[in-house]
Amino acid sequence: MESKSPAALALTGIEAGYVAGVPVLSGVDLEVREGEVVTLLGRNGAGKSTAIRVICGLLKPNAGRVELHGERIDGLEPAAIVGRGIAVVPEGRRVFGSLSVEENLLMGGFAHRRGIAPKLDLDAIYTSFPRLVERRTQLAGTLSGGEQQMVAMGRALMAKPRVLLLDEPSMGLAPMLIDAVFDMISTLAGKGLTILLVEQNASEALDVADRAYVLERGRIRREGPAERLLSDPEIRASYLGVG
Amino acid sequence: MTFVIQLMSGLAVGCIYGLVAIGFSMIYRAMGLVNFAQADIMMIGAFLGYAILVAAPGIPFWLAIIGAMLGAALLGFVIERVAIRPSVARRADQVYLVLLTLGIGIVLSNGARLIWGADPVVYPTGLTHQTLTLAGYPLPAVYLYIAVVMPALLVGLHLFFTRTWLGLALRAAADDPDTAATMGVRPALATSVSFALASAIGAAAGVLYAPISYVSFDMGVIGVKAFAAAVVGTLGSIPGAVLGGFIIGLGETFGGQLIATEYQDSIAFAIMIGILLLKPTGLLSGARR
């Protein structure tokens, strides 16, 4: 076992919230190992997006630590964290609506702007998302939800992350597009990318994930290998709508 | 016969309104704030140009423009950092922020009065009196500078916003500061840079306006007309600001000629009200900006 090497991403005892005295996350411990796909499941308001905001530095935790490959990153500015290798596909996609598709993608490579890399990386993104080629000069705000999701994913990949955070990538998409999004996640996982996937769509998320955590009211209630959670009667009843 | 002169004068003053309006629009887009100090920054720019021309007699006019732009950029950067940022960081209500910018404008205007006095000054350059002849019509020579600087600034701004990382980052941060931050942009720095840039453009307007107007601590009053121009063309849109500037500039020039020049200001606002009644979000809302 390689248990001695630090996890790619580790949250330890994270307490966080937006208003003093109203914690959204209480004592969250979570770990994503190199090359692993980990999913963080939970209902609306469980604190999943807050966890993402803490990891990428948009929200400072009140206690606890966030480590990337053993180095503390909590307390760093978001701009410094992307430089260390974390990219995020935010909840609701958050494409830059008044920028063209190509400008959105380029912005994803902003951390690497000193080289010519972003311009070269565009080709790789267009190969992965051929649909975006014909849309490259179109304003991202005018795209369909599925296309915007592709832009958001392509944009995050432009940062060449060591750890990719995906916040509810299937939200608001048609079933066919949801499948396409999860196919893409499998492809990325197959290339060895380390992924933390936040989802409400538990069955699809557990299908692509190696391990899973279940967040309820700001606390981790369950964790374990994805297949075990898939067959867990309680999880099936509360998150998969079967049982 | 006077039509050509009227047209040229309307276009020239329209360029000035347009440049100040660009400043309004840039800051509105960057931070959702209407900066009513914008025209007073233009006034400071005009005085900076004056100071340069006095300090270095015979210096080319375009160097005075660039010098004033640099000085105003620094001033704008500092104003944003020292006066506006702390209130924005504490989530002050829009009403207070607008009052704050009005206050900054008053401080700038009284500061200028303190430094340069209450009497209008005239640029010590031949440009103030020179005329050029276009198809037999005598026109102020500074129109030539306006005709060169305005398009140059517009092309420069367009290239800056579409071809440079900094320009792209400013637009992204204006759209969504948090998401831009996760890509490596520092949104606070982005707003300071936007403020500096808007101030520099305002200063260019001030220096270009000086030879056809007067330079005085209260010349910032044209800010309300520039604001009308920005609103007519849709606040937040740079092409809209230019369009609005021409509409207000030409409208007040021809309208003033038809009615009486003392009603020029009223005509500018009548145009704004008329256009907003027909299109409440401005002429270029929904267009690519």
Average pLDDT of the residues in B46-58: 95
CATH code for position B233: 1.10.3470
State which residues of chain A have pLDDT below 70.
1-5, 116, 241-243
- Whether residue B5 is predicted with pLDDT greater than 50 in this model: the reply is yes
CA distance A59 to chain B (A): 10
Q: Are B209 and B50 in contact (CB under 8 A)?
A: no
Q: Is residue B283 part of a domain?
A: no
Average pLDDT of the residues in B74-98: 92
pLDDT of residue B64: 96
Average pLDDT of the residues in B105-125: 94
- Whether residue B108 is predicted with pLDDT greater than 70 in this model: the reply is yes
Domains and CATH numbers, chain A: 34-55+76-239 (3.40.50.300)
* B184 contacts A79? CB cut-off 8 A: yes
Q: Is residue B289 part of a domain?
A: no
E strands present in A168-208: 194-199
- Whether residue B53 is predicted with pLDDT greater than 90 in this model: the reply is yes
Average pLDDT of the residues in B173-196: 95
Q: Is residue B53 part of a domain?
A: yes
Query: Chain B interface residues facing chain A, Cβ-Cβ under 8 Å?
Result: 162, 165, 168-169, 171-172, 174-176, 178-186, 288-289
Q: What are phi and psi of A233, to 5 degrees?
A: -60, -40
Q: Rounded CA gap, B118 and B123, in Å? A: 15
Q: Is residue B286 part of a domain?
A: no
- Whether residue B277 is predicted with pLDDT greater than 50 in this model: the reply is yes
CA distance A44 to chain B (A): 21
* B186 contacts A79? CB cut-off 8 A: yes
A83 in contact with B, Cβ within 8 Å: yes
3-state secondary structure of B203: helix
pLDDT of residue A4: 56
- Whether residue B1 is predicted with pLDDT greater than 70 in this model: the reply is no
Q: Rounded CA gap, B67 and B46, in Å? A: 11
Please work out, in degrees rounded to the nearest 5, the angle formed at the alpha carbon of residue A163 by the alpha carbons of A162 and A165.
Answer: 150
Q: For chain A, what's the residue count?
A: 243
Q: Are B77 and B192 in contact (CB under 8 A)?
A: yes
pLDDT tens for each residue of A112-140: 888 767 777 899 999 999 999 999 999 99
Q: Rounded CA gap, A128 and A27, in Å? A: 38
pLDDT of residue B221: 87
pLDDT of residue B214: 84
Q: Is residue B102 part of a domain?
A: yes
pLDDT of residue A242: 59
In chain B, residues with a C-beta closer than 8 Å to the C-beta of A108 are 183
pLDDT tens for each residue of B185-206: 999 999 999 999 999 999 999 9
E strands present in chain A: 9-16, 25-32, 37-41, 63-68, 71-72, 86-89, 163-167, 194-199, 211-216, 219-225
pLDDT of residue B127: 83
Q: What are phi and psi of B283, to 5 degrees?
A: -70, -35
Q: How many domains does the structure of chain B reveal?
A: 1
Interface confidence: ipTM more than 0.95: no
pLDDT exceeding 90 applies to what percent of chain B? 75
For residue A167, give the amino acid letter: D
pLDDT of residue A1: 45
pLDDT of residue A144: 92
**Pick from B165, B168, B179: which is nearest to A90 by CB?**
B179
Q: Report the candidate in A191, A202, A200, A101 with the shortest Cα–Cα distance to residue A149.
A: A101
Please name the residue of chain A whose CA is at the shortest distance from the CA of residue B179. Answer: A94
If pLDDT is split at 50, 70 and 90, which confidence band does B264 have? Answer: confident
Q: Is residue B96 part of a domain?
A: yes
If pLDDT is split at 50, 70 and 90, which confidence band does B288 have? Answer: low
Q: Report the candidate in B165, B182, B172, B177 with the shortest Cα–Cα distance to residue A163.
A: B182
pLDDT of residue B112: 96
- Whether residue B246 is predicted with pLDDT greater than 80 in this model: the reply is yes
Q: Is residue B134 part of a domain?
A: yes
* B178 contacts A79? CB cut-off 8 A: no
Q: Are B17 and B212 in contact (CB under 8 A)?
A: no
Q: What is the DSSP letter of B153?
A: H
pLDDT of residue A2: 47
Q: CA-based diameter of chain B, in Å?
A: 60
* B184 contacts A83? CB cut-off 8 A: yes
- Whether residue B147 is predicted with pLDDT greater than 50 in this model: the reply is yes
CA distance B288 to chain A (A): 8
**Pick from A99, A106, A111: which is nearest to B184 by CB?**
A111
3-state secondary structure of B192: helix
CA distance A169 to chain B (A): 15
Q: Is residue B10 part of a domain?
A: yes
- Print the domain residue range for B266: 3-278
- Whether residue B12 is predicted with pLDDT greater than 60 in this model: the reply is yes
* A106 contacts B183? CB cut-off 8 A: no
Q: Are B142 and B212 in contact (CB under 8 A)?
A: yes
Q: Rounded CA gap, B218 and A88, in Å? A: 50
With the C-alpha atoms ordered B18, B20, B21, B23, is the resulting torsion angle positive or negative?
positive
Query: For helices B223-232 and B264-278, what crossing angle results, to 10°?
Result: 20
